[in-house]
Amino acid sequence: MKRALMILMAAVGLLTGHSQAAPTAKVDKVAPTFWWAGMKNPELQILLHGNNIASSQVSIDSEDVILKEVVLQENPNYVILYLDLSQARPQTFHILLKEGKKTTSVAYELKQRTRKGEEVQGFTASDVLYLIMPDRFANGDPSNDVVPGMLESKVDRSEQYARHGGDIKGIADHLDYLQDLGITAIWLNPAQENDMKEGSYHGYAITDYYQIDRRLGSNEEFRQLTEQAHAKGLKMVMDMIFNHCGSENYLFKDKPSLDWFNFRSSYVQTSYKTASVQDTHAADYERRIATDGWFTESMPDFNQRNRHVARYLIQSSLWWVEYAGINGIRQDTHPYADFDFMSQWCQEVLNEYPNFNIVGETWLNSNVLVSFWQKDSKLAAPRNSHLPTVMDFPLNALMNMAFDEETTEWAGGLYRLYDYLTQDFVYADPMNLLTFLDNHDTARFYKKDEDTRNLNRYKQALTFLLTTRGIPQIYYGTEILMAADKSEGDGMLRRDFPGGWAGDTANCFTAQGRTALQNEAFDFTRRLLQWRKGNEVIAKGNLKHFSIFSGTYVYERSYQGRSVVVMMNGTDAEQTLDLTPFQEVLPRREAVDFFTGKTVQLEQNVVLQPRQTLLLSF
Ligand code: CA
């Protein structure tokens, strides 16, 4: 012990220099915090922040790491290094900042990779994502509710925009619930640090791209959560935001250069009208204000055309994949960022991890506009976003109408779904569309508690969501009929999951804690999700559908000689469905209905009760 201590002290003395006259340059931020040897892209940017460090001479003490470039910024508190790691072995080397006779040493670790890029499996249409807002799901560790020194230093569950104390431990404590429910992937709203004064419980104002918010847990806890989820057959999707950061981020508060943020770091509001990106008639003003304007004054807009910004953001995403082994990224406000940069980012991630998946938030109102953002879109050519998965917001809107209306042969109700899907040729890959009834930004599928008494609406919607094409996503609490409308405030769309906090009056994680109606919804959801899990007909099958006959929508999913046929009555009346049009999807004269367990005769007609759905497997 004593000998080791002396060697350590000698090393410290050597590294910090012998002059005691003045303090040496102090580096307070290093990004990335560490990296790996053996990544496909051999270049590494290291961003150093510290008081006046730009006046130092920079070198490194490694034999196989090459320092290619040292870049200074307008702000003397930054030094940016570019390293060539193509020959680098796993090691800890030192970045030496020499100022006169004084040398500051920053140890930098290149770790041994623990996974091959090909082994990282992304989410696919075989999965169902379950979206959780970490602050609002379950409070597994009340001791982290308030972290001294952080700017928002209280929890208040009665206030919709305050922090409520949910955390990673709370999610880890309920992995069994999620596994039993039958979802196969967890998507977390951003868990990265949001050290803002207020209103950042949702996570979309990141103040440190390499740090899990300490009120949610540590980086290690997040890594362990991902590992535990994997052990239960659940994938992990991480939310990222490249368009903007929180204004308390050190990159903004002490910005390297004014051109790290759009409009030279002064606040100009975005129009949110991102259709201008692909609009052939768009005025230059429209495009610029949409993509370069700031999301809000407290969310400054990154200039990804600055190569240092671009490299910083790309590396931060690769870091989380390699560190935690996540299976996917959900990219916030995808169309608001620079198109070419985002395309480059997708390519680089998929180059390192070819089986990975990325879904971009493409909140646009038509399939034409959404399709533009998907990889290999003919409509975007010759440009290519390289974004594998886009969000089906138009279908979300239609699903929120279709199950309330009477369906006819030419309008309303389920006709809307049929009509929309007839236009799927606009998409380069319709199976890679994220489909959802609701999410953290929309009204919940039930806007009011009293509406939940009409449970058939949910049963039909969920059946459609889980059997049509695409990658379904369920929002936490939808399975227990949590209701809220956007007009109540966004915080109300993100209410606490009942039972996630000690002392909650109801614990909806258990059957005993749920009402009879909630149990009916939960059991229906669970049964359908468990049926879908591992079902290749749904995960990979072709979709063939018919126009509306007798108010009923009929479609088939088929794969390698097996098929599933759905017959959904979209009216409040009993319907006698003449089976003549459907012969090509009815290989047998009878089939068992999944929902009732009864054998259905498929001769001349089928009689469907009001809003009844048949789910027949062949
Ligand atoms: Ca907590």
Query: pLDDT digits over 450-505, tens only?
Result: 999 999 999 999 999 999 999 999 999 999 999 999 999 999 999 999 999 999 99
d(CA 601, CA 591): 7
Q: What DSSP assignment string belongs to 68-107?
A: EEEEE-SSTTEEEEEEE-TTPPSEEEEEEEEETTEEEEEE
Are the C-beta atoms of 482 and 514 separated by less than 8 Å? no
Of 512, 513, 445, 531, the closest CA to residue 484 belongs to: 445
Q: Which is it for strands 129-132 and 185-188: parallel, antiparallel or unpaired? A: parallel
d(CA 27, CA 230): 37
Which secondary-structure segment (H or E) carries 416? helix 414-421
Token pair, residue 584, equals: 């090509």
Which pLDDT belongs to residue 23? 54
Structure-derived torsion over alpha carbons of residues 502, 173, 493, 390, reported in degrees to the nearest 10: 170
Q: Is the pLDDT of residue 594 over 60?
A: yes
Which residues neighbour 372 within 8 Å (Cβ) at sequence distance 6 or greater? Answer: 277, 278, 379, 380, 385
d(CA 196, CA 166): 17
Ligand 1 center to residue 503 CA distance, Å?
14
Cα 266 versus chain centre, distance: 29
Ligand 1 center to residue 64 CA distance, Å?
44
Are the C-beta atoms of 377 and 360 separated by less than 8 Å? no
**Cis ω on the peptide bond leading into residue 382 (within 30° of 0)?**
yes
Ligand 1 center to residue 215 CA distance, Å?
6
Amino acid at 520: E
Cα 360 versus chain centre, distance: 8
Token pair, residue 142, equals: 């009340």
pTM for this predicted structure: 0.94
Mean pLDDT of 403-428: 98
- At 415, the pLDDT band (50, 70, 90 cuts) reads very high
Mean pLDDT of 368-385: 97
Tokens 């009879």 correspond to what residue? Answer: 516
Token pair, residue 85, equals: 């790691």
Ligand 1 center to residue 141 CA distance, Å?
4
Which pLDDT belongs to residue 290? 94
Which pLDDT belongs to residue 24? 59
**Cis ω on the peptide bond leading into residue 32 (within 30° of 0)?**
yes
**Half-sphere exposure for 598 (CA within 13 Å, toward CB):** 6
Ligand 1 center to residue 201 CA distance, Å?
12
Ligand 1 center to residue 612 CA distance, Å?
43
Are the C-beta atoms of 597 and 440 separated by less than 8 Å? no
Which secondary-structure segment (H or E) carries 47? strand 43-50
d(CA 281, CA 324): 44
Mean pLDDT of the chain: 95
361 a catalytic residue:
yes
Query: pLDDT digits over 9-58, tens only?
Result: 334 334 444 444 445 569 999 999 999 999 999 999 999 999 999 999 99
Which residues neighbour 478 within 8 Å (Cβ) at sequence distance 6 or greater? Answer: 437, 438, 444, 445
Ligand 1 center to residue 165 CA distance, Å?
4
Ligand 1 center to residue 490 CA distance, Å?
21
Of 141, 239, 332, 348, which one is the catalytic site residue?
332
d(CA 395, CA 414): 12
Would you report the helix, strand and coil content of the chain in percent, each value rounded to 5?
30, 25, 45
Q: What angle do CA 306, 334, 341 make, to 5 degrees?
A: 30
φ, ψ for residue 132, nearest 5 deg: -125, 130
Ligand 1 center to residue 477 CA distance, Å?
19
Ligand 1 center to residue 144 CA distance, Å?
5
Query: pLDDT digits over 428-452, tens only?
Result: 999 999 999 999 999 999 999 999 9
Give the burial string for 511-550 (b: 16+ CB within 10 Å, else e): eebbeeebbebbebbbebbebbbebebbbebebebbebbb
d(CA 257, CA 239): 27
Nearest-Å Rg of the Cα atoms of the chain is 27
Ligand 1 center to residue 584 CA distance, Å?
55
Q: Which residues pair with 544 in a beta bridge?
A: 556
Token pair, residue 277, equals: 């990106």
Ligand 1 center to residue 500 CA distance, Å?
10
Ligand 1 center to residue 138 CA distance, Å?
8
Which residues neighbour 515 within 8 Å (Cβ) at sequence distance 6 or greater? Answer: none
**Half-sphere exposure for 231 (CA within 13 Å, toward CB):** 9
Which residues neighbour 414 within 8 Å (Cβ) at sequence distance 6 or greater? Answer: 402, 403, 407, 548, 551, 552, 553, 568, 570
- At 335, the pLDDT band (50, 70, 90 cuts) reads very high
Token pair, residue 118, equals: 């090909």
Of 213, 361, 438, 479, which one is the catalytic site residue?
361
DSSP annotation of 386 reads -
Ligand 1 center to residue 328 CA distance, Å?
25
Ligand 1 center to residue 232 CA distance, Å?
23
d(CA 296, CA 13): 48
Ligand 1 center to residue 163 CA distance, Å?
9
- The CA–CA distances, whole Å, from 145 to 199, 201, 393, 496 equal 15, 11, 34, 14
- The CA–CA distances, whole Å, from 321 to 127, 433, 459 equal 19, 22, 36
Q: Which residues pair with 542 in a beta bridge?
A: 558
Query: pLDDT digits over 271-280, tens only?
Result: 999 999 999 9
Query: pLDDT digits over 224-275, tens only?
Result: 999 999 999 999 999 999 999 999 999 999 999 999 999 999 999 999 999 9
Ligand 1 center to residue 501 CA distance, Å?
9
- At 1, the pLDDT band (50, 70, 90 cuts) reads very low
Are the C-beta atoms of 169 and 140 separated by less than 8 Å? yes
Q: What angle do CA 187, 205, 442 make, to 5 degrees?
A: 50
Ligand 1 center to residue 203 CA distance, Å?
15
